[in-house]
Amino acid sequence: MTDIKFPKGFLWGGATAANQLEGGYQEDGRGLSIADALPGGPERFKIASSPDFNWEIDSDKYTYPNHVAIDHYHHYQEDIALFAEMGFKVYRFSIAWSRIFPNGDETKPNEAGLRFYDHLIDECLKYNIEPLITISHYEMPLNLAKNYGGWKNKQLIVFFERFAKTVIERYGKRVKYFLTFNEINSAAHFPVMSQGLVPNNGANDQKNVFQAWHNQFVASAKAVKIAHEFNPNIQMGCMILYATSYSYNANPVNQLANLQHNQDFNFFCADVQVRGKYPSYTHRYLAENGLTEADLDRTPEELDLLKQYHVDFISFSYYMSSVTETTGESDETVAGNLMGGVKNPYLQASDWGWQIDPTGLQIALNELYDRYQVPLFIVENGLGAKDVVEADGSIQDDYRIDYLRSHIEAIAGAINDGVDVMGYTPWGCIDLVSASTGQMSKRYGFIYVDLDDEGHGSMARSRKQSFYWYQKVIKNNGTDL
């Protein structure tokens, strides 16, 4: 362990997303969201990626765990009190777009939805917890996906601008940090959830993803403009799914493929959102997807907006690293966070096949800081695991503590390297519905929620061993792990 101290004011906390914990999916005027139409179970991505997927909610055939989730909508006071007990300095959560604009295309917001987040924010502030808001985390009103075709449609820029303006003007005096789109680059692997696109039987699929990204970049720039004009103290971030990637070996062919993989997956969206322009390798990236610049509808005014209104900081999720190999020298594969790939012989994997790599986080922080020179915020990290409740009610999750400890050491290492790190919010600080499996049994929390994959359980909250450990870490500002 390096002897570096975390800076005073380092933002320790935790992260969640509306659709994975709130429940209350039809309460107080909330409309349906795309997240409500994703079936539960390990097959959810496969089902939603099939060409006949049509956003219909078929409760006879599937379960929909997001409808109730952990019922945070009615437990938020209790949950935030527990976060405060751990000593959180920051809490990252998202706004359900469909609570504010139930169909997405209205001109007037739903006051009851806005009021819910008023209460949530006030509850955080009561304990001096700084709210960090993701404006859009893997959801949009279902109507916008079904009847407008999701983010490939430019009308969504108008609807998002209205949503972002409403949220920023309502909360932006009390909230300093906003992120525009969760894991915006994840569309490369699962555009259904991040862009509201459904497969088109192959036709135009890639074109749609790139057009949707462009529209999201423009929408994000507009949100930055709104925020900075409304309150210059607001700091706006982009949010990237970062998976440090290694070449399988010293074969220059793999090295080059890895460099290009990094450009396409880890950097492309951040290049636009931080540097304010499309990167030099865009032409190659498009060509590899059978496209040219002429396939995209991008106006000079839009490109100008991107240049003027770039984000202030980069936030990212980090769970695992990956390996690039294009030469057929390895045949061992693993699963992963949206993308699997070649097995790294030096790493262990989680029960879901995600390769655990704390050193990769120190590399990620250095790579991002070297490239962009803006502050970095790790807004997701953690170990999905099956927890066991002992006879005395305790949960001995040493495996989670080990994972988090080694990653916090890696952050300290990066700070020692000179990287500017704003804070750390481990994912799913309270157990919630998993995005990839749509189930409860893959748990990340410091707080256990009594709820199983079939929706049975009392919803009672209890403190895991990691709860007390993290409480201590925050109290001593990371000096004793």
Q: Which residue from 317, 321, 350, 381 is in contact with ligand BGP, where contact means CB under 6 A?
A: 317
Strands 447-449 and 461-463: antiparallel
CA distance 275 to 431: 36
- Tell me whether residue 254 or residue 337 sits nearer to ligand BGP (CB atom): 337
CA 301, 303, 304, 306 dihedral sign is positive
Nearest partner of 268 among 305, 219, 216, 333, judged by Cα: 216
**Residue among 234 and 240 whose Cβ is closer to ligand BGP:** 240
SS3 12: strand
Q: In the complex with ligand BGP, which residue's Cβ is closer, 63 or 200? A: 63
Do 98 and 167 contact (CB within 8 A), yes or no? no
Assess 442 for contact with ligand BGP (CB under 6 A). Answer: yes
- Closer Cβ to ligand BGP, 241 or 342, answer by number: 241
For the CB of residue 445, give the shortest distance to ligand BGP in the complex, in Å.
Answer: 12
Cβ-based nearer residue to ligand BGP, 42 or 199: 42
Position among 273, 362, 436, 466 found at the interface with ligand BGP (CB under 6 A): 436
Residue corresponding to tokens 């895991």: 464
Region from 110-118, 284-292, 428-436, 473-481 binding ligand BGP, contact rule CB under 6 A: 428-436
Smallest gap from Cβ 17 to ligand BGP, in A, equals 5
Check 380, 390, 409, 454 and give the catalytic one: 380
CB atoms inside a 10 Å sphere around CB 254: 22
The site string for ligand BGP over 132-151 (x = CB under 6 A, - otherwise) reads: ------x-------------
Under 8 Å CB-to-CB from 392, ≥6 apart: which residues? none
How many residues contact ligand BGP, by CB under 6 A? 14
Q: How far is the CB of 111 from ligand BGP (least distance, A)?
A: 28
CB of 426 to ligand BGP, least distance (A): 11
Q: Does 194 bind ligand BGP (CB under 6 A)?
A: no
Stretch that binds ligand BGP, among 28-36, 107-115, 298-306, 427-435 (CB under 6 A): 427-435
Map residues 233-272 to x or -, x wherever contact with ligand BGP holds by CB under 6 A. --------x-------------------------------
Which of 213, 273, 265 is CA-nearest to residue 241?
265
Nearer to ligand BGP, 36 or 183 (CB): 183
Question: Which one of 400, 434, 461, 464 is in contact with ligand BGP (CB under 6 A)?
Answer: 434
Sign (positive or negative) of CA dihedral 174, 177, 181, 183: negative
* SS3 of residue 358 by DSSP: helix
By CB under 6 A, the residues from 345 to 404 that bind ligand BGP are 380, 384
Identify whether the C-beta of residue 269 lies closer than 8 Å to the C-beta of residue 285: no
Q: Give whichever of 235 and 439 is closer to ligand BGP, judged by the CB atom.
A: 439
Cα distances (angstroms) measured from residue 423 to each of 41, 67, 367: 32, 31, 17
Instruction: Report 196-225 residues binding ligand BGP (CB under 6 A).
Output: none
One DSSP character per residue, 254-270 reads HHHHHHHHIIIIIIHHH
User: C-beta of 432: minimal distance to ligand BGP in Å?
Assistant: 8
- Range in contact with ligand BGP (rule: CB under 6 A) among 6-14, 263-271, 414-422, 430-438: 430-438
Considering the rule CB under 6 A, would residue 100 count as an interface residue with ligand BGP? no
Which residue type occupies 3?
D
User: Cβ distance 104 to 144 under 8 Å?
Assistant: yes
Least distance from ligand BGP to the Cβ atom of residue 337, Å: 5
Task: Please pick, from the candidates 136, 182, 194, 262, the single residue that binds ligand BGP as defined by CB under 6 A.
Answer: 182
DSSP assignments along 176-225, one per residue: -EEEEETTGGGGGT-HHHHH-----TTTTHHHHHHHHHHHHHHHHHHHHH
The yes or no reply on residue 337 touching ligand BGP (CB under 6 A) is yes
Task: Establish whether 183 is a catalytic residue.
Answer: no
Q: Report the C-alpha gap between 281 and 260 in whole angstroms.
A: 9
Report the nearest approach of ligand BGP to the CB of residue 94 (Å).
Answer: 9
R_g of the chain computed on alpha carbons? 21
- 77, containing H or E segment: helix 72-86
Q: Residue 217's CB: how many other CB atoms inside 10 A?
A: 26
CB of 28 to ligand BGP, least distance (A): 23
- Which of 88, 77, 78, 82 lies closest to 129, judged by CA? 88
CA 288, 292, 297, 300 torsion-angle sign: positive
Q: How far is the CB of 379 from ligand BGP (least distance, A)?
A: 9
Residue 17 in the binding site for ligand BGP (CB under 6 A): yes
Binding site for ligand BGP (CB under 6 A): 17, 138, 182-183, 241, 317, 337, 380, 384, 427, 434-436, 442
Give catalytic residue positions: 380
